[in-house]
Structure 1
Amino acid sequence: MSEIKITYFPVKALAEPIRMLLKYGNINFDDNRFQQENWPNIKPDMPFGQVPIYEEAGRIAHQSIAITRYVAKKVKLVGDSDWENLEIDSVVDTINDLRQKIAYYWYEQDAAVKESRKGPLIEETLPFYLTRLESIAEKNNGHFALKKLTWADIYFTGLLDYLNFMLGTNMIEKYPNLQAVANNVRSVPAIKSWIETRPQSDL
């Protein structure tokens, strides 16, 4: 049994950047995936009733970005100065802003309201974010910061299947530098191996 455990639904989504970083660092972990129908029984025991959670040496942490940043420090995919970390963090927060705007559309239960949100999301929100992220990736040679692999790249790539699932399309199809970010992450041998062997899910 590993010292580290990740608890999440049987999907990639918010836990996948954490898993990818652990694999990148060759850190063993228990990949604890519970079925959706068991969530009502598990939820009361979760900090703030949310997952993923990260357990290490008997301690529990929540909040996916905080966990991802923590693991990134472990595997040395952070910056060498406060300013470099600010550069990385700002991109991660921007990606998370985009994720929340996509989720605002996807998780709407009222069909009419959901449909009303789709046009502005596709025609305005996505181009606004993706053109700017594309420019950042171009300036950094297929990365989001420091012209090299950082946890911002892994955060984006780990979420990509989830974002594409919610959108029903490949959102980076017209953005070659964002494709380069994803390809650079997916070609890392340890991550490539993980992608080939991980449990399959659409999101």
Structure 2
Amino acid sequence: MAAERSQWKSCCARSLGNCPDDKYSESDGGAKPGRNPTEQSDLAISRVLVGCERTDTAHTPRPEATGSVCSDWRPGWFYRKTQKMSIQHESYKLQYFDVPGRAEHIRYIFAYAGVDFDDVRVSKDQWPELKKKTPFGKLPVLVIDGKDVPQSNAIARYLARQFGLTGKTEWDALQCDVLVDTLGDLQESVTKVMKEPDPIKREELRARVTKEELPFYLSKFEKIVKDNGGYSVGSDVTWSDLVLAVLLDQFEGMYGRAALNIYPSLKGLKERIHDVPNVKAYLEKRPPRSPLPRQ
């Protein structure tokens, strides 16, 4: 990190008036007589370089550079670097039921990142009293250093940013969001089948989901992963891969392990995630699933 900051400061100092190719105005955070290099470079970090991408270490001015931005920076570099600059929290406590449901992808993110958290499995008897204390009467809730945070995907997205699982660029992060939201549409349909108490209606729902929705979505996800070299986004694991692995695990639970044979790229992704030592350790100690209380 010290080396990276030194690299930032080196280019920032050039950007603030020490670079012969660039000219800054004071209103843009430019060099001010008497301002020392540390102050100048820190000012550049705060005012100028958010959302910029360093393409190389050599100072090679772009023809279009007009003086408002140092010429060897482009959008995205600072974003990627800050993905690893996570806030250090003292404690995480995840509150949810003894089922995968809306919290399993959060558990996978913690497991994959190797970050300790208190996995509180709320029983049916505990839920009525706990419900009164939650922000909106629903779970999951992640307690971060004593502060309650609701909404499963807001939690997961925040943790993904903290642990560097949103890809290398803002575009990667956007694609993760798109896939996760789309997976949410499919997961909602699957959850309706699992929660339907009437056996006849449950079979009707299962038939529709099995014949229509699952093939539609899974065939598209299969193509995305295949075309992308085994990942859903980018060239490394992102949180959308973890969300996808959770859904595929549930899919196998409903239809059997052979159900993914016609989707080899998805099957390979799920197995790759489950073979990660931290994830494998979590799955081995994961408690048995209990009935899901109605929220």
Give the TM-score taking structure 1 as reference length. Answer: 0.89
2:231–2:269: 8 Å Cα contact kept in structure 1? Answer: yes
Gaps of 5+ in 2: 1-89
Shift of 1:195: 1.7
Equivalent residue pairs, number: 201
Gaps of 5+ in 1: none
1:13–1:162: 8 Å Cα contact kept in structure 2? Answer: no
Structure 1 pair 158/120, CA: closer, same or farther in 2 (3 Å)? closer
Shift of 1:5: 0.3
CA deviation vs aligned residue, 1:167-197 (integer Å, no higher than 9, x gap): 3444524211111111121122221222223
Aligned with residue 119 of structure 2, among 31, 34, 40: 31
Shift of 1:202: 7.6
2:167 alignment partner, SS class:
coil
Shift of 1:97: 0.7
Q: Is 1:104 matched up with 2:192?
A: yes
Q: Is 1:185 matched up with 2:273?
A: yes
For 1:24, the aligned partner's letter is: Y
1:49 alignment partner, SS class:
coil
Distance 2:214 2:200 in 1: 21
Aligned partner of 1:158 in structure 2 is: 246
Aligned partner of 2:153 in structure 1 is: 65
For 1:120, the aligned partner's letter is: R
1:24 alignment partner, SS class:
helix
Q: What fraction of aligned residue pairs are identical, expressed as a percent?
A: 33
Shift of 1:35: 1.3
2:119 alignment partner, SS class:
strand
Distance 2:106 2:123 in 1: 19
Aligned partner of 2:171 in structure 1 is: 83
2:98–2:290: 8 Å Cα contact kept in structure 1? Answer: no
Distance 1:19 1:87 in 2: 21
2:222–2:266: 8 Å Cα contact kept in structure 1? Answer: yes
2:224–2:232: 8 Å Cα contact kept in structure 1? Answer: yes
Structure number with larger C-alpha Rg: 2
Shift of 1:164: 4.1
For 1:10, the aligned partner's letter is: D
Structure 1 pair 159/50, CA: closer, same or farther in 2 (3 Å)? farther
Aligned partner of 1:143 in structure 2 is: 231
1:154–1:185: 8 Å Cα contact kept in structure 2? Answer: yes
Q: Is 1:197 matched up with 2:197?
A: no
- What is the RMSD of the two structures over their aligned residues, measured on CA atoms? 2.1
Distance 1:99 1:173 in 2: 20
The structure with the largest helix share of the pair is 1
Distance 1:189 1:118 in 2: 34
Distance 1:189 1:195 in 2: 10
1:23–1:191: 8 Å Cα contact kept in structure 2? Answer: yes
1:13–1:158: 8 Å Cα contact kept in structure 2? Answer: no
1:6–1:53: 8 Å Cα contact kept in structure 2? Answer: yes
1:195 alignment partner, SS class:
helix
Q: Is 1:74 matched up with 2:142?
A: no
Aligned partner of 1:55 in structure 2 is: 143
Shift of 1:76: 0.4
Structure 1 pair 100/46, CA: closer, same or farther in 2 (3 Å)? same
Shift of 1:71: 0.8
User: Relative contact order (alpha carbons < 8 A, sep ≥ 6): 1 or 2 greater?
Assistant: 1
Aligned with residue 11 of structure 1, among 94, 99, 103: 99
